[in-house]
Structure 1
Amino acid sequence: MADSEVFTNGDRPLYGQRLLPHILREVSKSDPQKPWALVFETSDIFKGFRTVNVRDISNAVNATAWWMHNQLGRSDHFETVAYIGISDIRYEIVHLASINCGYKLLCISVRNSDSGYLSLLEATKCTKFVCSSELLAKGKHIKDLVPNLQLVQLPSFDEMLSGNIADYPYDKTFAEAENDPVLICHTSGSTGAPKPITLTNGNWAVIDNLRKIPKTPGRKNQDWSLFNYENRGCFLSSFPPFHATGMIAMALPLLYNSVIVVPPPDRPATGESCLEIMHVLERHHRTLRGLLVPPTVLEQLVQEPDGLQQTSKLDFVMFTGGPLAPSVGDRLSKVTDICQLIGSTETGPLPGLVPERKNWSYFEWQPFYKIDMEAWADDAFELHPENPRLWRFHGRTDDVVVLSNGEKFNPVTMEAIVQGHPLLTGALYYGQVTETPQNVSNLEAPEDLEAVEEYVRSSLSGHLPQEPTSDGEDLFTLGLDSLQTLEFTNKLKAGLSSHLEVQGMKDITAKQVYANPSIRSLSRFLYGLLNPECGSPDMMANDDTKREAHAKARQNIAFTSVNAKHDANDARLVYLQVDLSQERFGLQPEVFSDLLADTDVIIHNAWKVDFNHTIESFEPQIAGVRRIVNSSQDSCRNPHIMFVSSVSSVGNWAAVYGAHKAVPESPLEDYSVAQSQGYGESKHVSERILQIAAERCGTQVTILRVGQIAGPLHGGGSWNKSEWLPSLVRTSKELGLIPDSLPDVDWVPDEVKAKPAVKILDFFDGIAQAGDRQPVYETAKGVALSKSMAELPSVSGEWMRTWLKQWDF
């Protein structure tokens, strides 16, 4: 039977009677460029993503099917083939290729114990095992447990695309193949050995058929059909593919009109990484419509500076696997819909209705299904006090604790072990609405680097599926997941609590474990906390590389937050994270030497903005100006220093000399003209340092006294919402009142003032007199020589409308 006959009935697809291989083959012919996935391939999210289309998937599936055929043979009786790999799209490719070759695929979690692996392989009669190159050591370890296991290494995705892409035959009809077993997922093993659960083609047909459930007037159905977006919207899933939800998410772009966003495979997804992905997608004009994540990711996301703002742009957030903290749900429900899925691996999520936002924590079952709550014996629910259609998860009736990252944990065994200690009379583990099971421990803390490394090594024991072979090995490559990261972090904090102040304890976070992913790098980070007077020993060449990546990431976030169109990944840019209060700006000697040798201009626009501090608290900033002067003098190029000062450096002029006399646009030696607060005084002192450097040492200096820089009028970028005018407009809107008077203010739009730094330099070169080390840049002279400034009109209603749009009014 031809593919088109299997796939459609006339012009309408036969939803609920389609087989995945047939859908892929048909779509690869009819719409080969249809995006399937946006894949972030490395942990440096700001490097961007790779777009994978249906043709790519089809070619990879065919190549992998032929590869399996040659390596393992074709199965005529649905043999089990196991796969373990990093969390990338190859899981779905291997799944579809396995169907073509007659196998059922066992997706094994990297988190299983040895006994768990043995139990699953024995229960599924599995003798063939495929692993990715990244987890080859894990595959060899499992083969050592099962000597007769045939182990083969899967090609990379790029190798798949270069393989044999001729169609691999799969000619079964839906009637013939509906009950064929095609996938084996397994339970977490929280109540014993992990249990394999076999899914058939019919299970995928049910997901395909959800779009046909009748609609309730005024409501949206809550099931996988929510991902049937108009215009192929994107959704981000952070569930690992060996999880049933993760496998379904990978297949949704084939069944529904959506594109999956795949996070980096070498790190568990966090709220921070999801936010970075949202920023990158926004910069590339990709519309992210939904999140499919465990509760813990949402709980982290709302703690990020603009997490709620970005979430407000989504159609919905969807979580499953555990409870969401009520305080987090209450905040999220104010900006987007919240969907929580509940069900089982065998049945999939139970269809429901997207809850009204005020009832986000309740389930409202799909009326069409007529669900009887009395049949639910494993989990306890409570009825809404006023609405009989709403039910809320209240707790399990067994011993299992469900954590907010979706993991399940049976505390009974651990309680028995802990309370067996002769100094304890009892033990209790708890974990509901937390990310890790909680207990109390107090370890001896180390006091030297070797001891720190040994402490980290011992604290890590039991958290990894396989032990590292060296202290420099990446822990996440070895299978450390988000739950284990949190458990490990908490253990580290518990053991060091008596040796660190409160702030030091706050610095030990999962984020730092992600940033220091080896025993060696993490030990050096902890050593620096424990011994602040000595500093961290991790001052090696690769540290500058890490700081460069961090600086680039911050710049990308800054550009994205104001909708700027600049590219922070431009190959011509070099990022150095510096500390001006340190000698050589805190850089390695060779890096600092290169900086002096290559720099022509230094634009100093970094200052602590705090109007409550005294001038003494700005001493590091002032000292930084002096160090910049020193570096200019030490350089053979004698770079030009451009210092972005502030009008507050002369803010007290009227009180000293009278309002009738204009502030001269020239250096001022009278300290009393500075505004009477530390910020303005520190800027004035720094101006004086630079003036003296110009007079005595010949340093080229430019001082820019900046007041209000307005937002741009065209292109990318926006006016910072936290500045005084946007804040005044927002306050006026809330109060329903506007000020009856405002002082005269001259506003210069951002693109006129900075278009960008190179344009400023051209302007200054034109205005400076030959041989003058410190020319005076007066407004009158600027207007005479700058066409942009000369033609700058008054603030108009059109300008204000542009800025109001930037402020989201």
Structure 2
Amino acid sequence: MASIVLSPVPAPSSSSSSTSTAPSVASPATSVTEPEVEVLEETFHTINHLLQSRAKGHHGDDPIVAYPSSGTDYTYYTPLQLNTFVEAASVHYAKSIPQRQSSEDPVQVVGLLAPSDFEYLITLLAVSRLGHTVLLLSTRIAEDAYVSLIENTKATFLITYSSFQTMGEKVAERTGIIQQPLLAREDYDSPSTATLSLPSAHLDGAIEAKHVCWIIHSSGSTGHPKPIYQTHSGALRNYANNFGLRGFITLPLFHAHGISCLFRAVHSEKLIYMYNANLPLTAPNLLSTLEEHPEIEILYAVPYALKLLSESAEGLQMMARLELVMFGGSACPKPIGDKLVQNGVRLVSHYGTTETGQLMTSFRERDDLDWDYVRPGPSLLPYLRWEEQMPGIYELCVLEGWPSKVASNRPDNSYATKDLFEKHPTKANAWRYYARLDDTLVLENGEKANPLIIEGVARNDPNVAEAIAFGANKPRLGLFLIPSVNSHCKTEDELIETVFPSIERCNAELPAYAYISRDMIHVLPPDAVYRKTDKGTVIRSAFYRDYQEKIDQIYDAEDASGDQLLEGGELVAFLRQQLLAVAPAIDPSTLEGTTDVFSLGVDSLQSIRLRTTILRTLDIGGNKLSQNFVFEHPSLQAMADELTRLRLGQGPAEQIPVEDRMAGLIEKYSSNFKIHASVPRDREGEHIVVTGATGSLGAHVVAQLAQLEHVKTIYCLVRANSRETAFRRVHQSLRTRKLSYSMTPAAERKIVALPADLSNPIRLGLDEVIYDHLVHAVTAVMHCAWSVNFNWSLESFEASCIAGTRHLLDLCLDARGPRPARFAFCSSVSTVARTPGQWVPEALPDTLSCAQGMGYAQSKLVTEHIVNRAAQQTGMTARVLRVGQIIADTIRGIWNTTEAIPMIFQTAETIHALPQLDDILSWTPVDVIATSVIELTLAPVAGDVVNVTNPTLNHWTRDLLPLLRQAGLEFEELPPRGWLQRLRDSNQDPDANPPIKLLEFFASKYDHDRPNRALLYDTKLAVAAAPALREAGGLTPDLVTRFIRYFRTHCWTTSPNAKTTLQPAREVIILTGPCGSGKSTAAHALAEQFNLSVIEGDDLHSPAAREKMANGTPLEDRDRWDWLAHIRGAVMDRLQHSTMLGVAVTCSALRTVYRDELRRLSDLLDFPVAVTFLLLSIRDREQLKKRMVDRSAMEDHYMQSSMVDSQLAILEEPMLSEGDVITLDAGRDKADMLEEVKGVVQGILHL
């Protein structure tokens, strides 16, 4: 099967030349110079301008950013690729966040709450490309902090990653902000996304440069976080200040230092490696990257990372090999810094603030060991003022005029940093960081905690005279208590027990990193001496210096090893007990020996506390326990194994090959299958469980099952927290794909959405009553759900996917019937992508190494084996359906237009040529695949493993190109290299010529003479049981015409029929149906609920038509044409002169041709208009007539009940092609009907 995808560039080689796509090895030390802000040869107006310039520049196809595909396995991205991804992502986000077309359009603030991964980078660049400001939100602050930032910045949209969905919903409820999901990787990097392109915007560079690009916020350690505004011009000046070295960054992009380091790399066109946001910050993970990538020249890190690396000789050697090691975010403890420098590490301190940008570093000659003294450069010196706060201690102020300063807090527009420095005793212009002027405690991981809150709580106890928190540059906070003179507590423990309940209540309101645990509370003598101000408050910095030895003893004691010897089950039981003690929120029933503890919600502080308990209790043979012990061994069994290894002095365990890990999972989930108890069935028909109904294939499966007469119920198992949420998710999925529009109310009532957790071995997380109902009803399970994350490792798929499949198999075996319920698993051809040769049989592959080299494919192959063993061991019908490439549906021709193949098609429009490729095509429409899945699941006889790929193959040049020509494309056929050359010579503007963005990708595919390798799939078993697949046929003129028409009318701005704007469409909701169905009632309910105008169609009939109907005479078509024209005109007028979201129209529109007349509204205005029909369906004549009688009595309406018969006589059910008609049951209770109408319209309006 031939496929074309946008692939990342190859991994760089350290031996390649500096002019190739691969970076060279580190340059000599003498080439590294102190960065200075200079006048740029090229002026960039905006961040987007910088990226696009880099994409079009001489190094546009050289790697610029590297991010792991999984673990520390890096994938490399060029500016060209970043630009392509950002363009596709921008188009997706523009559906909700309008693109600014000119500099007069308002700039909106868009919040971003997500892990700092590659998707995060693409999203912030996409929002910037749309012309808006990004509010970069830390993932570690409280709900009130998010609300404060959103309200203060007047943010209008909030983009959230799935794990922050609940927090986003809470914030949206309090602020009214519109929440949007973060795009997944496949939304911008897949064969279907490569052709997406934004309309051209006409922005004034000089104006845009003054707009805010990022809003970064303070830590909120002394109150709510404060927003810090960075303009494009200020940020770009800051980014121009760089060392010009290839780097490795461990800081998140929502930190000022993190985002600055990344864009300095982009500015200097030097490759930067981003740390995997899904990995804990551990020495092995850091070393893995540094060892495997010798081209890295500079490490950007927080002091905590340096501490981890400094704990081993290997880490010290690796850092000494680098040109520079730069830290920021907090001060590096002097013992650690001294150790690094003494071991040859060129350690450089970075100092800057969010408000001022980078200011100073401790860059110096190699023989200068004063790593902790920063030195202002010549260009900065005129803009600094040092204000003495205490003898020899100065606060730094940055004066007005410094290019990257974006905030002021003094009358003279200077910015006082509140950072204190001390002068070098002999060297001029050398300053060592002393402390914050305020009381913030910065932990070793860079988190900033405010000690005042917890101190105040403790100090409020009458038994406490003073409380002082400590922990600067330490892993966690501690608290000193000084008893009051009148304390009633006789012992230190008694004082702690008295105070701790109040502290524990305070802990619940603090970030996890600011938590004070009981073991970190220590009591000083009542007569302890400490320095105070004139006001009687503790002088914090002096206290810490005076009590430094005591503080060090407390933290040293945490690493003191215990003497208890535990082995095997006793050791696991001990770890379990201690983990539950430090993390009481864990449900003990979910904690097994191999459970990933972080999947249960364990946080970093709890892992530190567990490590401390282990060290204080257990004998580990005098060995050192890694600071990230729990992160590196995240299950009870893994911790026990590592502790045993350390105690026995054994060497580190070897990495288990992935094939062995796959085999282990197969064995784990293929044992002890339940024994089915055969009983007679007590109900008729098919009752089918479907997973994945919120995805494309699953939604098509559900929609088709609902239309089958012998299918009585479809149970959709959905991740949701309530039945209502599950219902909304399923029905929104169907509506989004226009699948519910042609459903009858009876068909739609078959669908039952249930909130479930497939990873839960106890009834799939379902209520006992519901699960019992399923057991008595289910006849088949169609498993279409799978996590689509190509960055996950194999083990990450275990709980939700692999174990989830086993739990579904158990459901089938629990089924009450003569045989177990049938089971079908929708696998993927990626499980056999590495099959030797060219032929893939309908069987399990010979070896587990046949799976594509990513966790997604490996986990699916593991599951293929589990399903196959279930069939062999239990005799149940359990089939593996290995699904191939899916394309547009046959009805509407909708195909994701950013894929590479559609973008090739677009070159017919932009360069009037298409390549003569020698590719074999096996393309299957999604609705055909869905039908085939149903047939293969319900077939009495079928293969245990089948390849669900199109058996009819096509050839690109011989078959597809003529069909494209028939569909209306005009093009010249060229050999691949000739086509590439014409593309190279064409317009380089990606807005006018989107395929140019994939030029290098196309070149990598076709600029050679190597023959293509295409796998062919045996489908004999599949087509024998699936008539839909057997009869699918290859590409047809009709299908090709449908998707080309879709491309030309919706996506290709170069096409004559293309929409040239992506501004949100104005909605026209037309309530249709016979008289008495409730159209007017529904319309006015919508107007009250939403910002919609109402047009009553009955008011627009001519006097003659009204008289006809009042006399009981049905209207003829000629009467209706004029009426429909009047309605169109009224809607157009209302849309042009109203600012409302849209219009609700009442109009019977009983026939397809009448609806076609109203559909013309989509083409009659110079802005987008979306027309949707809500058909209020009711066939009970008597009920309709009674409603008309009641209405006439109340309103004296001219329409008589006698008109019901004539209206029902001409009523036409929507045709299959009428995807814009949603049929609703109007025969129910009025309140229920109105609630459903409101729900549907809410989805249409994206509210």
TM range (shorter): 0.5 to 0.7
> In the alignment, what sits opposite 1:367?
378
Secondary structure at the counterpart of residue 421 of structure 2: strand
Deviation at 1:256, TM superposition (A): 0.9
* TM superposition shift of 1:66: 1.0
Q: After superposition, what is the alpha-carbon deviation per residue over 1:522-563, rounded to whole angstroms, capped at 9, x for unaligned? A: 78779989999xxxxxxx9999849999xxxxxxxxxxxxxx
Query: Structure 1 residues 419, 435: closer, same or farther in 2, change over 3 A?
Result: same
Q: 2:293 aligns with which of 273, 281, 285?
A: 281
Select the residue among 298, 314, 326 that pairs with 2:322: 314
Corresponding residue of 2:86: 61
- Indicate whether 1:489 and 2:607 are aligned: yes
Task: Name 2:154's counterpart in structure 1.
Answer: 125
Q: Which residue of 1 aligns with 2:767?
A: none
Moved more, 413-422 or 447-456: 447-456
Q: Residue 188 of structure 1 aligns to which amino acid in structure 2?
A: S
Report whether the alignment pairs 1:260 with 2:272: yes
Does residue 195 in structure 1 map to residue 226 in structure 2? yes
Match of 1:582 in 2: none
Q: 1:417 aligns with which of 430, 451, 457?
A: 457
Partner of 2:359: 350
Q: Is the 8 A contact 2:352 2:360 kept in 1?
A: no
Q: Is the aligned partner of 1:441 residue 2:521?
A: no
Identify if the C-alpha distance between structure 1 residues 453 and 139 changes in structure 2 by more than 3 Å, giving closer, same or farther: farther
Deviations 1:273-320 (A, max 9, x none): 2111111113xxxx1100000011111112123112111221101111
Aligned equivalents of 1:416 and 1:505: distance in 2? 40
Q: How does 1:137-536 map to 2 (within 5 A)?
A: 137-140=166-169, 142-143=171-172, 145-146=173-174, 148-162=176-190, 163=193, 164-166=195-197, 168-210=199-241, 225-226=242-243, 228-229=244-245, 234-282=246-294, 287-334=295-342, 335-352=344-361, 354-356=363-365, 357-370=368-381, 371-374=384-387, 376=396, 378-418=418-458, 426-439=466-479, 441-442=518-519, 453=576, 455-460=578-583, 471=591, 485=604, 487-495=605-613, 499-501=617-619, 503=621, 507=625, 509-517=626-634
* Stretch deviating more after TM superposition (495-504 or 113-122): 495-504
Q: Quick one: structure 1 residues 288 and 451, their matched pair in 2 at CA, closer, same or farther if it must change by over 3 Å?
A: closer
Residue 711 of structure 1: aligned partner: none
Deviation at residue 265 of structure 1 after TM alignment: 1.9
Displacement of 1:387 in angstroms is: 1.5
1:539-578 alignment to 2 at 5 Å?
545=661
Identity of aligned residues (%): 23
Instruction: Answer yes or no: is 1:84 the counterpart of 2:207.
Output: no
Shift in Å, 1:88: 1.2
Number of aligned positions between the proteins: 499
The 5-angstrom pairing of residues 624-773 of structure 1 reads: none
For normalisation by structure 2, the TM-score amounts to 0.37
Distance in 1 (CA, whole Å) between partners of 2:170 and 2:633 is 26
Task: State the partner residue of 1:109.
Answer: 138
Amino acid at match of 1:372: R
**Cα shift at 1:111:** 0.7
Q: Distance in 2 between matches of 1:117 and 1:297?
A: 28
1:102-130 CA distance string (max 9 Å, x none): 32111111111122222222222223221
SS of residue matched to 1:429 = strand
Q: Which residue of 1 aligns with 2:778?
A: none
Q: Structure 1 residue 153: deviation in Å?
A: 1.9
Q: Which residue of 2 aligns with 1:676?
A: none
User: Structure 1 residues 23, 67: closer, same or farther in 2, change over 3 A?
Assistant: same
SS of structure 2 residue aligned to 1:40: strand
Whether the 8 Å CA contact 1:84–1:108 is kept in 2: the answer is: yes
- Contact kept, 8 Å, 1:441 with 1:494, in 2: the verdict is no
Letter in 1 for 2:223: G
CA shift for structure 1 position 79: 1.5
* 1:614 alignment partner in structure 2: none
Calculate the TM-score normalised by the size of structure 1: 0.55
Q: Equivalent residue for 1:38?
A: 66
Name the CA distance, whole Å, in 2 between partners of 1:320 and 1:468.
40
> What is the CA–CA distance in structure 1 between the aligned matches of 2:336 and 2:121, rounded to whole Å?
32
Give yes or no for contact 2:249–2:299 (8 Å, CA) kept in 1: yes
Contact 1:189 1:195 in 2 (8 A): yes
Report how far residue 354 of structure 1 moved: 1.1
Structure 2: which amino acid aligns with 1:151?
Q
The residue type equivalent to 1:359 in the other structure is D
**Which of 56, 69, 82 lines up with 1:29 in the alignment?**
56
Structure 2 Cα separation of the partners of residues 354 and 530 of structure 1: 40
* Partner AA of 1:180 in structure 2: H
8 Å contact 1:92–1:250 — kept in the other structure? Answer: no
> Separation in 1 of the partners of 2:345 and 2:202?
44
Contiguous gaps of at least 5 residues in structure 2: 1-38, 388-394, 397-415, 480-516, 521-563, 649-655, 666-835, 837-846, 850-1247
Query: What is the aligned partner in structure 2 of residue 754 from structure 1?
Result: none
Partner of 2:96: 71
Is contact 1:294-1:320 (8 Å) kept? yes
Q: Which amino acid aligns with 1:488?
A: Q
C-alpha distance in 2, partners of 1:22/1:479? 41
Matched, 1:51 2:76: yes
For the structure 1 residues 469 and 158, does the alpha-carbon distance in structure 2 shift closer, same or farther, using more than 3 Å as the test?
A: farther
Query: Shift of residue 452 of structure 1?
Result: 5.3
What RMSD, in angstroms, separates the aligned Cα atoms of the two structures? 4.1
Which consecutive unaligned segments of at least 5 residues does structure 1 have? 1-11, 211-224, 533-539, 550-570, 575-809
Q: 1:173 to 1:517 in 2, by over 3 A?
A: farther
Higher relative contact order (CA 8 A, sep 6+): 2
**Structure 1 residue 321 displacement after superposition:** 1.4
- AA matched with 2:632: A
Give how far 1:422 is off: 7.8
Pair 1:18-2:29 in alignment = no
Displacement of 1:268? 3.2
Q: 1:316 to 1:506 in 2, by over 3 A?
A: closer
Change (3 A) 1:382 1:156: same
Q: Secondary structure at the match of 2:266?
A: helix
- Answer yes or no: is the 8 Å Cα contact 1:183–1:198 preserved in 2: yes
Contact kept? 1:237, 1:261, Cα under 8 Å? yes
- How far does residue 496 in structure 1 lie from its aligned partner after superposition? 5.4
Code of the aligned partner of 1:179: K
> Could you tell me which amino acid in structure 2 is paired with residue 396 of structure 1?
R
Query: CA–CA distance in 2 between the matches of 1:249 and 1:401?
Result: 24
Deviation at 1:373, TM superposition (A): 1.9
- In structure 2, relative to structure 1, the CA distance for the partners of 1:474 and 1:64 (3 Å cut) is farther
**Which residue of 2 is the match for residue 770 of structure 1?**
none
Instruction: Mark the structure with the bigger radius of gyration.
Output: 2
